[in-house]
Structure 1
Amino acid sequence: HLSRKGQSLRGGTIVDATIIAAPSSTKNKQGERDPDMHQTKKGNQYSFGMKAHIGVDDESGLVHHVECTAANVADITQAHKLLHGKEDTVCGDSGYTGLEKREEMKRKRKLRYLIAEKPSKLKQIKNKRELKLA
């Protein structure tokens, strides 16, 4: 479909997720909360709702995959569903740390992973640099 429109997917995919908040008091006709919605914590803030996981072409910015889950589902567990299969690079934030070690990713062809470090790891690196400078 994209090629007919003059668009194509390039060599890399950026993976990310965002929380879609819903009021925690939202209930269905049976008086129950939607089983697909859950509570999650990001930093010091709690949210209730769902999560949209997206795969985006790193050059064109086109969204090529979307997966919706409960908000408490870890980003890394959905990453393999967000790839189009032709990319050679996967980019993501620290929520995807260790992605290359996951069984479902080992089955894919050789990929280059550009994953941001976790904040605690960056702090350790900064502290080591400060020690060397002292």
Structure 2
Amino acid sequence: MVHGTPGYRGTRVGVALGSAPRNQSDHSDAEQLPRIRVPYWCSKGHETRLVFLKLPDEQIPMNWDCPKCGLPASRDPLHPAATRPDDEIFKSHLDYVKERRSSQDAELVLAGALERLRARGVLPDQLLGDA
């Protein structure tokens, strides 16, 4: 059995066939702005091409993080951007917590949280095996 599909598949409700959506004119001005494609190279040789509005050269960033490896990339392929110092490398939330608290502090915080859960009856002692 063959099911017919309506001719309106893929169109929005309220839009006649062959006509543009009503809010299309809102975006047409933005699409006409002049743009430029700027290449960036990291020290590993990865090339990234980004699209910017056509602005004066000093308003376009000289460095950009490489999306492939995370290293800084520059606009000059012969002189890649300097690598970041080790203290500027990406840190996770856990890394920041470890900077603020020692292992002993973490044990105290955990013990306090477990005690509050036990007092509310949410966490029975037999689940943790510390009777």
Which TM-score tier does this pair reach, normalised by the shorter chain?
under 0.3
Give the TM-score of the pair, scaled to structure 1.
0.25
Give the TM-score of the pair, scaled to structure 2.
0.25
Q: Could you say which structure has the higher helix fraction?
A: 2
Q: Could you say which structure has the higher strand fraction?
A: 1
- Which structure has the larger Rg? 2
